[in-house]
Amino acid sequence: MDFEMKNTVNVEVSSAQKSSLNPNGKISSIIELSDLEQGSISCISSKPKEKLVQRGLKSRHLQLIALGGAVGTGLFIGTGSTLVTCGPAPLLIAFIIMSFFIWTIINQLTELVLLAPFAGETSTYAMAKTYINRPVSFMTGWNLFYALAMVAPTEITACTMLVKYWTNANAAIFVTVFVVTTISLSMLPVKVFGESEFCISSIKLVTALGIIILGVVIFFGGVPSEDHVLGFHYWKHPGSFKPYITTGNTGRFCAIWTAIVKSGFAFVLAPETFAQCSAEAQYPRRNMPRACNRFIWRVILFYIGGSLFVGIAVGYDNKRLSSAIAAGSSSGAASPFVVGIIEAGISVLPHIVNACILTAAYSAGTAQLYGTSRMLYSMARKGDAPKIFSKVNRYGTPYFSVGIASCFCLLAYLNCSDSSSQVFTWLSNIATISGFVSWIIVSITYLRYRKVVDCLGLNERIPFRKRFQRFCAYLSTGFFFILSLTNGYSVFTKGNWNVSDFFANYVTIGFISVLFIGGTIYYKEWRFRDIEEVGSEIVPKLDLADEEEKNEVMEEPKNWLEKLWYIIV
């Protein structure tokens, strides 16, 4: 149901509050979510009801946004650069390792948001403010806004690269088309956004599945260019590893580490976008766990299966792919999937796949613009951004937040004066490191949340939890901390110094350091929030979330077709 407490709701309060209430110590008035933002519930009689974002996303929307927002150019285009630089084995290893850590992050986020899946409460920023302190949340919010804002122009840049597979027309034409359509869609009601993501994400997931099946066919030599079983031919010739920076085992290790860093963009900020959707999702405590549980299996299928396809279909010394990347080619030839199909001797299909990858890039950009606007909306509701960004229209769309976030899409016009692949690399590097920092904050927030829940004795009321997540949070914190510091290690090696690469790899660390120091000085908070103070804030929200869940009316599948649909989505 849409969460609008129109009827009287009874909520138990402390004895200190009873004197101002009715004799039985209960509130008999309208409880608004805006009161929850301040961590308290008060009686309101004359204040007009505040407009909030609306619950317009269904289970199938959540499922596809969770995976569709991640399956984008990082997989379809970024794997080409990783393959040419590192080889097929590091590419596969990197996706396996990164998939595991993304699984831990999405488990932690799901548990955190389901405690109180309300408007303004589901972003990493809001949760850091609740469980850690204001300086950390201030840093987290603006880092996430900055990162999400960078992804949308990155995806638009990728769209331009892909369109130029067919034409050499001026890039400004295509940038304008994609910018206008992306912004227009983001301004519409969330139901329209959900349907759009569902349709486009369905296309790209079917494409990814078809490519994996094609990989099996190529493996067994069932394509025009082969008359024998190809197998892992390219893992032998030219080889499974391409040593990076140096030779021997050290070079192989550097290749694996570089592949892990590069693979980060394929997943960057997808968990955060998924978590923020819970505030606008129907029945979040039912639908979010389903989407979370199925996420890892789909990641294994599409990401690990996709990286296997690349290693089977294309060698790391492929001239068509390496020359496209080395020359900064603005074409779909930079996608190893398209190159692999061309090498297989299949006509027409490269154009179809390139078109499907184009929809993937567009969809990922739209999803991240959605996440950017909701992040700013959440910050405005919490007081860390101008209040105007919390305003929504009659459809529940925070139009001022969407408007300011959309301005970053104009960065895609850098394509018109530089190689689009260079722009893509710059923007993706910046967004990737911000994503690593965000995942560090997610794990730290989760550890603090677990301590709060333990101290307050709330473990029995937690609606969702996976085993070993406390250990995984420690592991994730260390892993992404090291990854953030070493992501640009190659610029410090002999003969590889480059000012622009250094800037792209480390400007984010400087940016968040300034935010944290500035926030600490301004708010004058040096420690974690007191557990009792946190408890007084989250318990009323937990009560309301339980009440909402209790009042949900579930629709059971009526026939075998509906049961099958329920299993799939």
pLDDT bin (cut points 50, 70, 90) of residue 52 is low
The residue whose two tokens read 């492929």 is: 318
Element (H, E) at 365: helix 349-382
Compute the distance between CA of residue 304 and CA of residue 309 in angstroms, rounded to an integer.
Answer: 9
When the pLDDT of each residue in the chain is averaged and rounded to a whole number, the result is: 79
Query: Which residue in 414, 507, 501 sits closest to 153, CA to CA?
Result: 414
- Is 553 inside a domain boundary? no
- Is 39 inside a domain boundary? no
pLDDT (tens digit per residue) in 383-437: 888 889 888 877 778 888 888 988 888 888 877 765 555 666 677 777 788 889 9
What pLDDT, on a 0 to 100 scale, did the predictor assign at position 190?
72
The residue whose two tokens read 């937990």 is: 542
- Is 28 inside a domain boundary? no
pLDDT greater than 50 at residue 458: yes
- Is 465 inside a domain boundary? yes
Query: The CATH number of the domain where 437 resides is what?
Result: 1.20.1740.10
pLDDT greater than 90 at residue 87: yes
Per-range mean pLDDT, top range of 137-151, 223-237, 457-471, 546-560: 457-471
pLDDT (tens digit per residue) in 519-568: 999 999 888 999 999 999 999 988 888 887 777 666 666 777 766 666 65
Compute the distance between CA of residue 474 and CA of residue 267 in angstroms, rounded to an integer.
Answer: 20
Across 14-21, average pLDDT: 39
Ranking 64-73, 387-396, 440-449 by mean pLDDT, the lowest is 64-73
Which has more confidence, 61 or 23?
61
Strand partners, 26: 12
Name the amino acid, one letter, at 286.
Answer: R
CA separation (Å) from 475 to 112, 147, 216, 468, 469? Answer: 18, 23, 35, 11, 9
The dihedral of CA 6, 10, 12, 13: what is its sign? Answer: positive
What pLDDT, on a 0 to 100 scale, did the predictor assign at position 420?
54
pTM of the complete model beyond 0.95: no
**How many Cα neighbours within 13 Å face the side chain of 154?**
27
pLDDT (tens digit per residue) in 363-373: 777 877 887 88
What pLDDT, on a 0 to 100 scale, did the predictor assign at position 97?
94
What pLDDT, on a 0 to 100 scale, did the predictor assign at position 44?
37
Query: Which residue in 432, 453, 370, 454 sits closest to 152, CA to CA?
Result: 370
Number of domains in the chain: 1
- Is 466 inside a domain boundary? yes
Write out 106-161 in H/E/C secondary structure.
Answer: HHHHHHHHCCCCCCCCCCHHHHHHHHCCHHHHHHHHHHHHHHHHHHHHHHHHHHHH
Compute the distance between CA of residue 180 and CA of residue 216 in angstroms, rounded to an integer.
Answer: 39
Question: What residues make up the domain containing 464?
Answer: 60-533
pLDDT bin (cut points 50, 70, 90) of residue 326 is low
- Is 408 inside a domain boundary? yes
Query: Counting beta carbons within 10 angstroms of the beta carbon of residue 123, is it exposed (0 to 12), middle (13 to 18) or buried (19 or more)?
Result: buried
Check if the beta carbon of residue 39 is closer than 8 Å to that of residue 544: no
The residue whose two tokens read 């130029």 is: 164
Compute the distance between CA of residue 466 and CA of residue 450 in angstroms, rounded to an integer.
Answer: 12
| Residue 486: Cβ within 10 Å count | 15
Alpha-carbon dihedral 549, 555, 561, 567, rounded to 10 degrees: 10
Which has more confidence, 289 or 6?
289
What pLDDT, on a 0 to 100 scale, did the predictor assign at position 35?
40
- Is 342 inside a domain boundary? yes
Fill in the DSSP letter of residue 22. Answer: -
- Is 393 inside a domain boundary? yes
pLDDT greater than 70 at residue 104: yes
pLDDT greater than 80 at residue 343: yes
Chain-centre distance for alpha carbon 65: 9
Non-local (6+) Cβ contacts of 327 within 8 A are none
What pLDDT, on a 0 to 100 scale, did the predictor assign at position 330?
42
